[in-house]
Copies of this chain bind each other. A is one copy, B any other.
């Protein structure tokens, strides 16, 4: 609505200077038109601005050159973005990764690997800072030295939600950017997330859907991406996993099947591809060979038993490795330090996807 008024009157000043009749002609509720005419929002705005200054965040209006160009093209772009962190990132090449809040280990690993590999090429990884796939995509982007990422919030820019992502928030503010269109202090209500999702779909070149169930927000965000004319990508998964529904369904409907970062980059416009960083990174196969050569005998014994998609219990590891339980514990600790193994709750262990 704010956008419509701006288009009609040309500037915020003009809106507040407009006659009551002109405002009412825009089909505003009478009380709202009256409030605008009486400049009631001005005091609220002054208070909000003071808070913005206190938080140290920036305001980016849609006529600002730094406002994400693609976001400006959608039907209802947010007229104002609150930004914390590196504002410049908004003008860079953005790619969104979306997915389930309760993914499988496979989904987590794919999100993290894609986040890392796309960020390493200079793409800014956009996601929603939710639990699960979102968090993994951000973390993946930050795991590569020059990687950057943008978190799009469904609450006020001064609200941290979910709480468990507090460290990730701080890290993204330091090395990336947090953005929100909601006023300071806005509670993360369920109704905010679809509104937030259109920003994730709208601002980026493409949307990668990693996992999502039949009625998931990630499926909706990706479909919105299709409507906006964005490239849409799906990471395939076993049909028997309910979280594979969204990406598999999107692929059926024309999304590109993605097995690694290359499949995403291939679909980007040539000028974007020309801007990407030539990363001389080893392929997954080369990484595997390097890792293999660096392992001790007991590490190798454990590493071969561990899976990428399904975590294994420590008891199974003892049983199948032929090592004692203290050897297994010590070796797992070494493998974790090397970044090759990850521990999940309940003494379960997973091979990190290279």
Which A residues are within 8 Å of any B CB, using their own CB?
106, 109-110, 235-241, 244, 248, 251-252, 256-257, 259-260, 263, 308-310, 313, 316, 353
Contact = CB atoms under 8 A, between A and B. Distances in A.
Nearest to A310: B310
A316 B244 CA distance: 26
Contacts of A106: 238, 240
Given A256-B252, A263-B252, A238 B316 contact: no
A260 B239 CA distance: 9
Contacts of A235: 239
A346 to B, nearest CB: 11
A209 to B, nearest CB: 13
A254 to B, nearest CB: 10
Contacts of A251: 236, 251, 257
Among A110, A256, A257, A308, chain B packs the most CB atoms within 10 A around the CB of A257
15 contacts: A106-B238, A106-B240, A110-B239, A236-B238, A236-B244, A236-B248, A237-B238, A239-B259, A239-B260, A241-B309, A251-B257, A252-B256, A252-B257, A252-B259, A257-B257
Nearest to A240: B308
Contacts of A237: 236-238
A198 to B, nearest CB: 26
Given A109-B240, A241-B309, 14 more contacts: A106-B238, A235-B239, A236-B237, A236-B248, A236-B251, A236-B257, A238-B238, A238-B309, A239-B260, A240-B309, A248-B259, A251-B251, A252-B263, A313-B316
